[in-house]
Amino acid sequence: MTVQTLPPPDLIRKTIIEVASLPEKDMLSVLEVVGKIKQREKDGLPNLTVAEIRAEAKRIAAETAGMSRKEVMNRFRETVEQIRSEAIAKGTALEGEWERD
């Protein structure tokens, strides 16, 4: 079974496992790309192509390559908070506080 044919619950599980195994800087790239995809959907823009997603991920990776862990985690928290704020506005936020990085 390929990723494209996985049922939604299995696809979600596989995605979470794959993202969780990434280095922190790559997680930041994934989170920022996801945020960009969601913003495009919200704005009614067409979906990004695979090439556009890869280009954006490379841009973010290059941008964060020289950052310290502290800088990356601050940017990660800012991105998460932006996504969380949007979810709160939509009424889809998860309850609870950020526990640790």
Domain boundaries, the chain: 24-89
Which residues, including other chains, have CB under 8 Å from residue 89's CB and lie 6 or more apart?
none
pTM of the model: 0.51
pLDDT tens across 23-78, in order? 887 888 888 888 888 888 888 888 888 888 888 888 888 888 888 888 888 888 88
Which residues, including other chains, have CB under 8 Å from residue 91's CB and lie 6 or more apart?
none
Task: Please tell me what DSSP assigns to residue 63.
Answer: H
CA distance 28 to 41: 20
Closest CA to 53 of 33, 69, 70, 27: 33
Q: Using 50, 70 and 90 to split pLDDT, how confident is the model at 4?
A: low
**What is the predicted pLDDT for the residue at 1?**
44
Cβ–Cβ under 8 Å, residues 101 and 73: yes
DSSP string, 20-49: HTS-HHHHHHHHHHHHHHHHHHHTTPPPPP
